[in-house]
Amino acid sequence: MNKLFSLILPFCALLQILFCFNAVTARPGDSSVKSEHCKSEPVTGEIFCAGYFPKFTFKYDAMSCEPYIYGGCGATANLYDTLQECMSSCVHGSAPTEEAPVES
């Protein structure tokens, strides 16, 4: 078992480096975004609502999914319940998996 682990560990480290490099070097305008809605803001207009709903949104300028507090109205398609849902919708190479929603 230890021999198998020692063979797999360098491969996993290489994959991790490649994925991190891809995330750091991705820039707006390239094909790193899966859907056009990922480029939109999480809410429309200047609507202010007093709700407090922890969500995730894809920040196109940073090319990453980030936490977002949704007020309860004006949502766009760029608003997700989980980090994994955001990543699988907007970041190439992300496979959908089960993940619990963010808790406040």
Domain containing residue 36: CATH number: 4.10.410.10
Half-sphere exposure of 89 (CA within 13 A, CB side): 20
Domain count, the chain: 1
pLDDT at 94: 56
Does a structural domain hold residue 60? yes
The two three-digit tokens of residue 77, written as one number:
């398609």
pLDDT tens-digit map of 76-87:
999 999 999 999
Which structural domain range is residue 71 located in? 28-90
67/13: higher pLDDT: 67
The separation between CA 35 and the C-alpha centre of its own chain, rounded to angstroms, equals 12
The two three-digit tokens of residue 9, written as one number:
């560990």
Reported pTM: 0.57
Does a structural domain hold residue 55? yes
Does a structural domain hold residue 103? no
pLDDT tens-digit map of 25-73:
444 454 566 788 899 999 987 767 889 999 999 999 999 999 999 999 9
DSSP secondary structure string for all residues of 36-62: GGGGS-SB-TT------EEEEEEETTT
First CA to last CA distance, the chain: 41
pLDDT at 48: 76
pLDDT at 79: 95
Cα–Cα–Cα angle for 100, 104, 89, rounded to 5 degrees: 45
Does a structural domain hold residue 82? yes
Does a structural domain hold residue 96? no
